[in-house]
Amino acid sequence: MDTRYLYICFALFLGTTLELPAQAAPPLAKQKPAKIIEVSHQTPQGNHEILRGKLLVEAIDGSVLLEDDQQILHIIPGESIAEQTVLSEVDPLTPKQLGQKTVASLPDGFSFITTRHYLICYNTSVGYARWSAALLERLFTGFHAFWSQAGLEVRQPEQPLVVIIFSNRNDYKRAAEKEVGDASHSIVGYYNQLTNRITTYDITGSDSNDPTTRQSSSSAGNLILRNPQASSLIATLVHEATHQLAFNAGLHVRLSPTPVWLSEGIATYFETPDLTNSRGWQSIGAINEARLELILKQFTPGLISRFIVEDEPFHNPDEALIAYAHAWALVSFLETMRREDFCAYIAHFNKKGPLELDTPAERLSAFKNAFQSEPDDLEQEMLQYIHAIARRTRQ
């Protein structure tokens, strides 16, 4: 059984690969209600640390999974815990307190703005931060409306969703290296399930280190849309933001065994940019031309059957990009032609808890139960659907 879980979600556009940290999941005990605890423990560096937060999982060996007041997940090995006490209910941080606490943990020079659903921490121009926030808010509204109309129960996040925007690529790379290693050189942003944050940088390349610069959000938007790489840059931001929304609206559960094809398929389904709109993104379910072109050129029989039962194709540099294209095609097909079954399939996985593991046999049976079909049969139907939309878009 694969005992690793992978927690960084990113958009694969450039054929980049990502070495992901692997950790052994502790053996699970029964799921406990989320009580508030205080844990005194020793860090791997030998320091003494006290953490407070929601107890999400308690393992048989005493290890705990704790979510702190900034929504960061901590996996604390049982043998490092000196003391654990249950606290009475504590008030969540206000958006302002969350902003202050988050900025305090970032390099000097960061400010924050809060919007209805987001906390944007930035050290680039406020105009860029506002432009990003407007795009994210538009996506938030579209995402929630889309899935509730589809029949899924979506929930509002308890706290603002946190997005960190660095002013330039170098500072971003320095900070991102700690989380994603060398991949920070080639990816423009990522969502981390452990921190629940998106980290990215100012893709206009304005390199303004002065957060008080009075650049308006409309001039920031114009700069972005003029960038020759605007399309893939906006797609990346929307892709990562879709992951964050899916994990916070209840479609997926952080660190649970959500199939990678499902998570990446949904993110690619939403990512399609629209450069005719001043925010760079407008609607859900538009044809994702780049992914469509790739699957038409490199359709791989049997790939769907493989990634339904195991995530390996997404971790293999030789086929990850084509796996993303197949995941987009499958989600587009299921969402359009088998919406009710697709929602039942999503709901099957969102009942699983953090650090649970699924066997390939369990994943196959979940798929067959939801769609009443063998994956290979559905692959054929999907192929016809893909050719039909390709004919429509090329007329």
**How would you class 353 by CB atoms within 10 Å of its CB: exposed for 0-12, middle for 13-18, buried for 19 or more?**
middle
Chain residues 261-320 in contact with Zn ion, contact rule CB under 5 A: 264, 267
CB of 264 to Zn ion, least distance (A): 5
**Which amino acid, 216?**
S
CB of 268 to Zn ion, least distance (A): 7
Q: By C-beta, is 125 or 195 nearer to Zn ion?
A: 195
CB of 12 to Zn ion, least distance (A): 7
Provide CB contacts within 8 A for 223, sequence distance 6+: 204, 206
Q: By C-beta, is 103 or 233 nearer to Zn ion?
A: 233
Q: By C-beta, is 51 or 295 nearer to Zn ion?
A: 295
Q: By C-beta, is 98 or 237 nearer to Zn ion?
A: 237
Note whether 55 binds Zn ion by CB under 5 A. Answer: no
Note whether 9 binds Zn ion by CB under 5 A. Answer: yes
The residue number whose beta carbon is nearest to Zn ion equals 9
Q: By C-beta, is 69 or 240 nearer to Zn ion?
A: 240
Segment near Zn ion (CB under 5 A), from 69-77, 106-114, 170-178, 256-264?
A: 256-264
Q: By C-beta, is 267 or 292 nearer to Zn ion?
A: 267
How many chain residues are in contact with Zn ion, going by CB under 5 A?
Answer: 3
Note whether 260 binds Zn ion by CB under 5 A. Answer: no
Q: Which parts of this chain interact with Zn ion (CB under 5 A)?
A: 9, 264, 267
